[in-house]
Structures are given as structure tokens and as C-alpha cells.
Amino acid sequence: MTTTSARPNQAPPGEPPRPRLLRPARTAARYAVRHGLPAVYLSRAARRGDLVGRLLRDPAVREDPYPLYEQLRERGTVAPSALGPVSTSHAVAGEVLRSDAAGVGWDRSAAPPLIRWALRLGDELDATGVAEPPSMLVTDPPDHTRFRRLVSRAFTPRATLASEPMVRRTAESLLDRLAGRDDVVDLVAGYAAQLPVLVIADLLGVPTDRREDFLRWGAAAAATLDAGLPLGRYLAAERALRAMHAFLRGHFDRLRADPGEDLVSRLVTLPGDEALTERELHATVMLLLGAGFETTVNLLGNAVVLLDAHRDQWDALRADPAGWDGAVEEVLRADSPVQLTGRTITRDTELGGVALPRGTRVTLLLGAANRDPAVFADPARFDVTRRNAREHLAFSGGVHYCLGAGLARLEGVVGLRTLTERFPRLRVAGAPVRRDLRTLRGFATLPVALR
């Protein structure tokens, strides 16, 4: 494959030019298909009492989705909803995630003609988010296999273990900056978000002095995982996505001219048939940047809130730091950073006693599956000593198992242990504010007193 690229406001090679004056029309088409129409549809479903509609549209449910998950669980392992079949079952979710009869993509040719037209009109590299092809997140084998093979070496257990000293140094440096503060601080802005973004910036060879930009861009990319964003929120996300793509384009050019030892340098200098197209390169690196810290920032914030509500368990971890590995797994289970995902059935099959024809889209509520009483005893109870906590599905499963799961676990363990050692009396001091997202679950702000 070649690495020819489309510059801003140009179509990819082989497509007709796209004048800049068409940008508002393309933006309107993208918003209508991906957010405007879903928002209307889901809001109507919620008003009719559809539980999944409420899950995705009701702010009160966003704050605490777990009671609603239990209502859905009572309707069976696979229940009908406005989005089609939905499952709260750990067994069903695990089966679907690992099945070769289910994929992450969907057949656009089956969409109504107007939707297909809008998708073609709105297709533009510089406004593409992490949930659009050719991102690994929504690409099936064999393309997914090819992309994953190219980046997996940076996330092997050996590579992750080698990163531990750097993660610890980064955590300590960030906490040094907080050490002189006697007032209430926002732990998300000052630590939980900073740690993973600095780590992934180092891995990808991008300037750490741009970390505030990366945080803003990553939040924008993460927001596009949700369906039904308000127009203003979507426009802000698109502006951030355009800025991120512009940065990446320049970054790739710099590394082609002067490659380093980082992962992106290897990707931009791949030889011959291994080379990625410009769109594939943007999609891959954007996903690594966004996913590289989104899970961890939510994991760290969720952990602090849970441990603050269970001070006896936090005290036990302080006395015996060997328990941090299990504690991180329990946080991932009890309040999963990724709450839901979807798969498309690729051949007629049956799940949980329900026949599903080819093309059916199944929604898997990972946050509910991780509290399935068939797998986890007393699942609503937070217990850092839970023996089977690692059986959670917070990192998905099968060929799409999270590539950076090992790094996220390392950042969670090191980040929480270092924070606890430095500030043993840290406590939540105010009302944390949840992010206004449904797919990802974490905190936008987390006020804490360090002493």
C-alpha cells in the first residue's frame, strides 16, 4: 500500500475534489446520521419507557446505571430494546465477544439510500473519529489483524513491564507538583488525566508539552463514541478532531524526515506492501492516542471514589501494597470505564435462546455483565480481595481484546499505589462530577483534599 495522502479539504486519492465551501454540508450530514437522528429516536424510545433509551438519554440514569441494568437483567439474558437485542449476561457477552459469527463493523449497503448518501457526503478524513473505519475499533479481520500486528509489539507483556520505571517516575513527578498544595485540588486535572497522557505521548514519540492539547483532543474523540451528542458538543468535538488530524499530519511528516525509536516512527516508515495509507495511519495513531489514556483516567478516578467510600479497604491496601493488582481488577469490574459495546451478527445464530438473523446488531452492556450474579457473588459489593474479579469484561474479549490492557493495568496499579504512599490521608472533598458520556464512565472533576 502507498502512503499518498489527502490534504485538508481534499478528497482521498481517486475521489473528486471537495471544495471547502462544502464543509458545512458535510458536517450537517455527519451530525444528522450519527447524532441528530439517533438522539430523536432514542429520546422517543425513552419517553415510551424503553430501558435502553433511558440508559442512553436520561442524565439521572447516566449517574447510576446499575439499577436499570438489573431491570434489564430480569427480562432475560437477551432482551429486546429500541436498539435491538441487548444483553446484561456475562456468559452471552463473553460468547459474542469471542465469536467468529459477530463483528464490530456493519453493512452500510443495508442502510436506507438517504443514509448511505449522507455517509458518503460526510466522509472526510479530517473529521474522522475513533469509531469510524478504518479504526481498529470498528474494523474486522483481515484488516484488523494487519493493523493490530503492526502495533502489538509495543504492548507485549515484556514491553509493558519495561515501562514500569517510566510510569513510576511520571507519577512521582506529577505528585511532586501537588505536594505543596494545601487546598482542595481536582485530581482528574492534576493527576489522573496527566499520568496516562504523558505515558502514551512518550510511547508514540509526540511532544509532552502538547499534553493539554492531547487531553482535549482525546476527550473529543471519546465523546464521538456516544450516539446522540447535542449539536454544540458535536461541533466542538469536530473542531478538536480537525486540530488533532492537523497535528498528526505534521507529526508524520517530521518523523518521516527524522524517525526515532518510537512506535509512530516505525509506522510511518513501513516498507512496501506493509505501508499504511494516510487514512489508516491517522486512524491507528488517533486510536492509540485516545484509547491510550481514556481507560486509565477513568480507572484512576473511579478507584479513588470507590476507595474513599470503603476506607477500611484502602487502609488495608496501604498496609499491604501487594493487594493493588487485585484492587485494580475489582475497580474495573465494579465500575467499568467502558460500559457498553456492540457487535453485528455475521451469520444466523442463537444467543441465550433467542434466534438472531444475520445483520442483527447486539448491544452488550459490559457494566452489567461485570455485575452478573451468575459469575460474581454479591456483585454490587466492592471487595478488593474478590478472588475472581479478573473475570470481568472491562477490556472486551476475543480478537478485539484491548491492546493496551496491560499498560492500563500497570498505570492503575502504579498510579494508585504511588498516590496512596505520597498522600495517605487523601480524601474526596466535595461532589465529584461524572462525565456526560454513556459509553465511557468516569469523572470530569474529582475534588480531593491531600492532607
Q: CA 83 → CA 57, 117, 406, 421, distances in Å?
A: 13, 22, 32, 45
The reported pLDDT for the residue numbered 167 is 97
What's the DSSP call for residue 343?
Answer: E
User: In the chain, what is the straight-line distance between the N-terminal and C-terminal CA atoms, in Å?
Assistant: 56
The gap from C-alpha 229 to its chain's centroid, in whole angstroms, comes to: 16
User: Does the residue 11 lie in any domain?
Assistant: no
Alpha helices in 230-337 (DSSP H): 231-257, 263-268, 278-308, 311-319, 324-334
Q: Which of 186, 180, 163 shows the shortest CA–CA distance to 300?
A: 186
Q: Do the domain assignments include residue 259? A: yes
Give the C-alpha separation, 213 to 343, whole Å. 32
> Can you tell me which residue has the cell 466535595?
430
Cβ neighbours for 422, distance < 8 A, ≥ 6 positions apart: 172, 175, 179
In this prediction, residue 21 carries a pLDDT of 64
Position 390 scores a pLDDT of 98
Q: Which residue type does 351 have?
A: L
The DSSP code for 425 is T
Bridge partners of residue 364, in order along the sequence: 87, 341
For the segment 173-227, what is each residue's pLDDT rounded down to a tens digit?
999 999 988 889 999 999 999 999 999 988 988 888 888 888 888 887 788 889 8
Kindly state whether residue 421 falls inside one of the protein's structural domains: yes
Instruction: Tell whether 301 is covered by a domain.
Output: yes
Would 319 be classed as within a structural domain?
yes
The DSSP string of 40-91 is HHHHHHHHTT-HHHHHHH-HHHHH--HHHHHHHHTT-SSB--TTS-EE--HH
Task: Establish if 41 belongs to a structural domain.
Answer: yes
Residue 259: C-alpha distances to residues 149, 154, 245 (Å): 20, 16, 19
pLDDT at 191: 97
Q: How many domains does the chain have?
A: 1
Point out the residues of the chain with pLDDT beneath 70. Answer: 1-21
What pLDDT does 425 receive?
Answer: 95
Cβ pair 413, 325 in contact under 8 A? yes
The Cα–Cα gap between 337 and 342 comes to 16
pLDDT score at 5 = 40
Distances from the Cα of 138 to the Cα of 144, 211, 338, 400, angstroms: 9, 26, 15, 9
Buried b (16+ CB within 10 A) or exposed e, 279-307: bbbbbbbbbbbbbbbbbbbbbbbbbbbbb
Domain boundaries, position 393: 20-449
287 assigned to some structural domain: yes
CATH number of the domain bearing residue 31: 1.10.630.10
Record the cell numbers describing residue 237, joined without a space: 468535538
Separation of alpha carbons 142 and 372, rounded Å: 33
pLDDT at residue 211 in the model: 80
Residue 9 lies in a domain: no
**Backbone torsions φ then ψ of 361, nearest 5 degrees:** -95, 125
Look up residue 31 and give its three cell numbers. 451530525
Check residue 7 and give its pLDDT: 43
Q: Parallel, antiparallel, or unpaired for β 433-434 and 443-445?
A: antiparallel
